[in-house]
Each structure stands twice: as C-alpha cells, then as structure tokens.
Amino acid sequence: MSALALAAGVAVAALTLYAVFGGADFGGGVWDLLASGPRRARQRDAITNAIGPVWEANHVWLIFAWVALFTCFPPAYADVCTYLNAPLTLALLGIVLRGAAFVFRNYTSDNAMLARTWSVVFGAASLIAPFFLGDTIGALATGRYAWTSPFALAVGLFNVTLCAQVAAVFLIAEARDSALRDDFRRSAISATAAVWIVGLVPVLLAREAEPRLFAALLGPTARTAIVLAVLLGLAVMLMVALRNARGARIAVAAEVVAVLAGWFGAQAPELVPGRWTLASAAAPPATLAAFLVAVAGGAVVLVPSLIYLFAVFKIRARG
Amino acid sequence: MDQVLAARAQMGTSLAFHIVFAALGVGLPLLVFVAEGLWLRTKRRAYYDLARTWAKGMAILFAVGAISGTVLAFELGLLWPVFMRYAGGIIGLPFSLEGFAFFVEAIFIGIYLYGWDRLSPRAHWLSALPIIVSGAISAAFVTLANAWMNMPAGFRLDHGKVVDVDPVAAMFSAPWLVEDLHATLAAYVMTGFGAAAVCAFALLRGQAQDRVEQVRAGLTIAMVVATVAIPLQWIVGDVIARFDAQQEPAKFAALEAVWTTQRHAPITIGGIVGDGQTRYGIEIPSALSLLVAFDPNAEVRGLDRVARDDRPPVALVHYSFDTMVGSASLLLLIALAWSIVVLRKRALGRRLVAGIALSGPLALIALEAGWFVTEFGRQPWIAHGLLRTSDAVTSAPGIAVQFYGFSALYVILAATCWWLLRRVGTAPRAAERQPFVPESLP
C-alpha cells in the first residue's frame, strides 16, 4: 500500500473514531437537553458520569484528524479552511461552548440557576457542533463548498440525529437501574427511527440538486455501505429490544462506520470532488513517511493508554 | 477592520488566552503529584486536601486549555490558509506528535480526576506522572512549530515553490532547544508563582484553623517549584539573548531598541521609542556589547541593517521585552527572599507573603510579555524570510465579526473560570477518601 493511501487511511480512521466516540459525547448533550419525565435528573447524572472521564480524550480524535489533514494534504486543507470558514468557525464555537459548559455546570451543581444556565448552553452547543461539522462534510461532498445548500444543511441535521442515536445506545449500559435503562432504550429506538427518516432527506435532496453526488451515492461502494448502514440500524433495534446492550453498542458503532464508508465510497479518491484528489493535494513523500512513522510510534503509547482509560471507566466500573 | 489586522487580533487574542491555561496545564500536574505523594507518605490530612483542591482547579483549567487549544489548531487554517498551504507539509510532524502527547495527557487527566475511588492510592498517584510528562512534551512540540516560524528550515525554495522537504530537519530548526527550554520553564514559573500567590493571598485574608496547614503546605510546594524554575529561566533567557543577537538580529535589535549598528552598545531600559532613535531611556554603557559577546568593544547590529519593510514594531517589542525582564527580576527577588527566610528557618513575614501574593500577577505579565516579544518580534513575517503575515491571511469574509465574538466569549470564559476557581479554593473540605477495597472490583 502506498504511503499516500496509508496516510489517508489514518485520517479516515481518526475521523471515524471521532464520529463514534466524539459523536456519542455530543449526543449525550442532546439527550441532556431533551431529558424529561420523572427521572430527568437521574438521566442527566448518568450522562454526566458517562461523558466526564472520557470526553477530553475523545475530543482529541478531531484534533488528530485535523492535523493529519493539514500535514498530509495541505493545499486541500487551505482551500477547505478558506471556503468553509463559516461553518467550521460555527462548529468550533459549538465545540468550545460544549466543553466549557460541561465543566462549568459540573462545578456549579450547588447553584441551581447557574447550573441550569450552563446545562442549557451545554445542550445547545452539543447541537451546534455536530450540526456544523455535518454541514461542512455535506458542503465538501457537493464539491462547491455549498454550506448553505439544503443538502449540506440536511447532512448537518442527519449528523445530529446520528450522534443522538449513538449516545442513547451507549447510555443504556451506563444506567444503574432498570427504569433508567428503559428510558435510554426508548430513546435509542426512537433515535434509530429518526436516523432513517432524517437520513433519507439528504439522499432525496441530492437526487434533486446534486446529480453528480447522487450518481456517486449509487456507485457500488457507497450503495453497499448505505444498505449495510440500514441493516445495522435494524440490528441496533433488535439488540435494544433483546436487551443486549453490548450487541447494540457494537451494531451502532458499525452503523456509523458504514455511514462514513458511504461518504468515503462516494467520494474517494477525491478529497474535494472536482477540485482536489488525494494525489493532487498530497504533501511531499518525505512528509507522508515522517507522518506515518510518527503515527506508528505514537500508537505504541496511545493504544495501551486508551485501553486503560476505557478499562477503568467503562468495563471495570460496570462489573 | 482591515483583514490582516482582524486576523492578527483574533489569533493574538486566542493565543494570549490559551497560553495561560496551557502553562498552568503543564505545571499544575506536578504540584498535584507532589501534594498527593506527600499525603501518601505522611498521611497528613492537609496534603490530601491540598491535592484535591489543586486537582479541581486543574480539571477546570485543563478543560478550558483543551478547548482554547482546539481554537488555535482550527485558526491556523481558518485565519492563515496560505501559510498552512506552504507550511502544513513542513511542520505537520511536530503537530502530529503533539497530537499523541495531548492524547495521552487527556486520557490520564480523565483517569486521575475521576479515578480517586477506582484506583489504589498508589496507582492513582502514579497516574499523574503521564500527565506531567506528556503535558511538558506536548507544549514542547507546539513550541517547535513556533521555532520553525522564527527560523524556517528543512526545505528549499525553487522559484517560489517549496521543494526538498525534510520534516525532521524542520522540526529541529536552529532555535528549537532554547525556545523549548524557555517555554517549558515559563510554564513552571507561571504555575509555581501563580499557585503560591493564591496560597499567599489566602493567608493574608486569614484562614480557618483547619485550613492554615493546607494553605501553608501549598505555598511551600509551589514556591519550591518557582524557586527552582526562575533562576534557570534567567540562564536560558541569557543564552537566548546571545542566540537572537546572532541568529535573529532584527528581533534582537527591536527588543533592545538598537537603531544604529555600534560598538560599546548600551542596554537601554524603557525610554521613548521614536522612529530612528530611542530617547530618555536608562542606558547602561557598553552593557549590550558585553552581553552579546563578553566584549565591550563588540559590534551590535542595529535596525539600520534591517530593511524598513522588514522591521518589527520596535516600540511594542521593546516595551514587551522590558516588561518581561522587569517582572522576571522581581520574581527572582521574591524567590530569593523566600529562600533566605526558609533556609534560615524563620517565619514568613507579612510583607514577604504580600510579595508572594504579588508574584502571581507578575508571572502572568512576564508570560504574556514574553510571548509578545517572540510574536511581535517576528513581524512582519509569519514564517521569517519565507512568507509575510499580510500575504498569509485568509480571504474569507467576516473575520472581524469572529474577532469580536470570540473576544466576548473569552471574557465570559475567563470570568467564569476565575469565579469557579475562587469557589474551589474556599469550598468546604471533602471527606478524606475511603480506604481502598480491591475486592469491590471484579
């Protein structure tokens, strides 16, 4: 495999991991905003406990994908930053507010008004960030950087729904008692249905307004990935219904991977359709080689650390 | 607002905001580690309370540091896409490595902050070590990119195109070591004096009996760190002065406000920097020549050797430099006074405690002023000799609006942080941790 393909693979992997884990954290914020019913305080507690130890680490996947993009594909990166300046800045605003509000509200828990205010900011920011990240990706896919196009906006909305789905599924296993677990199971079922409905919108809009993109979505890789994503959504529903939290987690993570594979499949080997391919935007070979060596070396430190983190908080804790 | 000015204002504000959190994020884990270690060793409650209090502060500061660092990572491209098109492939390596270091830092911050009841006391204490190491390393990697901007290396220009890229050579451009040492020490200077100042302030205001021991212990630990770091910082600063005189003459001439190339050059403190001369400053005859070459007769290159269009904003750089050195001088005096009192086993007098309380703001001023020196001193270049700042800016609209918006956001974040940290410092003591029961784990 060429260094170029490997470097692109690293960027894609980082983005995918961010979509799953970072997405779950944003989705947690969405459910925090939507928390209702007699157990809403406990729902929020479960969300806080689930996100608390891991959100900062999960967030680094985005930084990493971002750095991989500017290191390995600098001219495409420069273009994307210029033409998609607005949605990226709005996503950044959401990311900043989400992180700050999450910490601030945790340390103001004894002051109801402040805690409430920062909670609302936390929830709203958890909508803004994934919406504009999704919008950015939609705009990229149009090849026109059309971030205000209905298609791009629909992708933004779809991304928010997807985050909410992943979070609901992940939260089932975080809940301490069965009533709370059932709350999140219901959320997971409705979110999966929402993902299907909202996911249909960009496809229909692409058929109307983005003929080239629509043709690419019907290509073999993208088509397979989309069908797979729908099937995996069914698997999520099934696992949730069967109270198999672990199976549901795996299914929903695989579904996100399939969704992203649909996007990559429709677009590869183009980075920005019609403007940049992986090859035309590639950094010099020496840079790609150094980047890959750095990734290999970094992984030696990173992987055991990550496993330790999740072992302490996500496996051991549950017992 | 003009596009370049708006982008520079936006980047500069983001950096000035982030650098405080970054420095404390590097330094605080060390303080927490020492405090918890002392608790494990002595089982004294005060050390436990101290570690818990500092850890809470660390949680807030690290989170804001992580997100403000994200802003900077984004703004590299959002504000300076032309620069990144040139430089991304050359200096991406330290940023990639920094990504891993930051990753490890974020992972162990999570483990440390949320692991008090999940890990054995010893494992919990040790989980601070990777934060200390990776925090310092990640700051060092980012500083490598800044060193490259000061003296770009690891490539060749062929008719305006970047060729023969060597990312490893780019990572270790000439100033890498001195800049890294200076930036890392700055983090410990800032954290040491900053934390000591908070404790000193608490003592001045008077504390409940059960808290005095904790506050005194905090002051001692923090002052030890500061007292080790500040003289080292002076030594490194002195080395950098000679390095700059040789390698970055434009920046050096600006920071010392030397207009005319001369022998027996004086050190000029303060003064009114006009166009072509600096008046009414305090001059120490021949001192600058002595400083750069240990020879009063040595020639010091002045701004007359730098083309007018290539000169940094002299007044700004000179005043920032004097502010940095002035603050650092006071810090050195405070550290010295404290050491003498402690070594003679005397009690801390109220005036010394007041001085230590003042050292926090002074360290902050020194940190910001030092950053101003290196950033304004590099102007008008974004990458010295390679690309001008004005040529690197984005063509995207709305940058001025972003600047106002983010500035307002920073004010809110800073105010909230300040308020929260004050509450953390005065919150009632938490119960000491329960004995660790390994059987509770599967």
Whether residue B267 contacts residue B256, with contact meaning beta carbons closer than 8 Å, is answered with yes
Q: Tell me what the mean pLDDT of segment B320-342 comes to.
A: 96
Tell me the chain A residues in contact with residue B109 when contact means C-beta distances shorter than 8 Å: 56
pLDDT band at B415 (very low <50, low <70, confident <90, very high): very high
Q: Is the confidence at residue A105, as pLDDT, over 60?
A: yes
ipTM of the complex: 0.92
The Cα angle at residue A26 between residues A22 and A32, in degrees rounded to 5: 145
* Residue B440 contacts residue B123 (beta carbons within 8 Å): no
Phi-psi region of B159 (alpha: psi -120 to 50; beta: other; left: phi over 0): left
Q: Which of A12, A170, A282 is nearest to B92 (CA)?
A: A282
Give the model's pLDDT for residue B206.
83
Closest CA to B92 of B19, B158, B165, B25: B165
| CB-closest option in B67, B84, B424 to A74 | B84
Partner A, chain B 103-132, Cβ-Cβ below 8 Å: 103-104, 106-111, 113-115, 118-119, 130
For residue range A75-92, list pLDDT tens digits in order: 999 999 999 999 999 999
Total tally of structural domains belonging to chain A: 1
With respect to residue A291, please indicate whether it lies within any of the assigned structural domains.
no
User: Nearest Cα to A216, choosing from A265, A266, A260?
Assistant: A266
Give the DSSP per-residue string, A37-74.
STTHHHHHHHHHHHHTTTHHHHHHHHHHHHHHHHHH-H
* Residue of A311, A303, A287 whose CA lies nearest to A77: A287
Q: Tell me the pLDDT band of B44, cut-offs 50, 70 and 90.
A: very high
pLDDT of residue A113: 87
Specify the pLDDT at position B433. Answer: 63
* B38 CB-side CA count, 13 A: 19
- Asked whether the beta carbons of residue B96 and residue A68 sit closer than 8 angstroms, the reply is yes
Please state, in angstroms and rounded to a whole number, the distance separating the CA atoms of residues B169 and B152. 10
Query: What is the pLDDT averaged over residues B13-34?
Result: 96
User: Is any Cβ of chain A less than 8 angstroms from the Cβ of B66?
Assistant: yes
The pair of three-digit structure tokens given for residue B199, joined into one six-digit string: 């404790």
The pLDDT tens digits of the residues spanning A200-238 come to 999 999 999 999 999 999 999 999 999 999 999 999 999
Asked if the model's pLDDT at residue B434 lies above 70, the reply is no
Cα gap A186→B171, rounded to integer Å: 52
In this complex, is the C-beta atom of A310 within 8 Å of any C-beta atom belonging to chain B? no
Residue whose token pair is 């992708």: A155
Q: CA-CA distance, B323 to B313, in Å (whole number)?
A: 16
Residue-level pLDDT at B71: 95
Judged against a pLDDT cut of 80, whether residue B207 lies above it is answered with: no
Q: Do B67 and A319 touch (CB under 8 A)?
A: no
**Six token digits for residue A244:** 């198999």
Containing domain of residue A145, as a range?
3-274
Q: What is the pLDDT of residue B333?
A: 97
Nearest to A70 among B92, B100, B406 (CB): B92
B387 DSSP β-pair partners = B383
Calculate mean pLDDT across residues B193-212.
89
Cβ separation A53–B111 shorter than 8 A: yes
- Best of B75, B107, B165 to substitute, by most chain A Cβ atoms within 10 angstroms, is B107
Interacting residues of A25 by C-beta distance below 8 A, sequence separation 6+: A51, A54, A55, A58, A59, A126, A167
Pairing of strands B272-273, B278-279: antiparallel
Q: When comparing pLDDT for B273 and B26, which is higher?
A: B26
pLDDT in tens, B226-246: 999 999 999 999 999 999 999
Distance between CA atoms of residues B93 and A293, nearest Å: 10
What pLDDT does A234 receive?
96
Distance CA A242, CA A264 (A): 32
Q: A37 vs B141, which has greater pLDDT?
A: B141
To the nearest whole number, what is the mean pLDDT of chain B? 92
Q: Which residues of B touch A85 (CB under 8 A)?
A: 78, 394, 396-398
In a domain, A319, yes or no: no
Residue A63 lies in a domain: yes
Q: Is B77 on the interface with A (CB under 8 A)?
A: yes
Residue carrying the six token digits 């002299």: B314
Q: Does A150 touch chain B (CB under 8 A)?
A: no
Q: What residue numbers bound the domain in which B376 lies?
A: 3-440
Give the total number of structural domains in chain B. 1
Are the beta carbons of A80 and B77 separated by less than 8 Å?
A: yes
What's the mean pLDDT in A177-190? 93
Condensed to tens digits (0 to 9), the pLDDT of residues A253-265 reads 999 999 999 998 8
Radius of gyration (Cα) for chain B, nearest Å?
A: 23
Q: Is A237 exposed, middle or buried (0-12, 13-18, 19+ CB in 10 A)?
A: middle
| Range name among A156-165, B37-46, B205-214 with the lowest pLDDT average | B205-214
Cα–Cα dist B95/B97, whole Å: 5
Mean pLDDT lowest among A151-165, B215-229, B288-302: B288-302
Mean pLDDT, range B133-151, rounded to an integer: 95
Q: How far apart are the first and last CA of chain A?
A: 42
Lowest mean per-residue pLDDT among A21-25, A34-38, B390-394, B399-403? A34-38
Name the H helices within A107-244: 112-142, 150-174, 178-209, 211-217, 220-241
CATH code, A247: 1.20.1630
Q: What is the mean pLDDT of chain A?
A: 92
Asked whether the predicted pLDDT for residue A315 surpasses 80, the reply is no
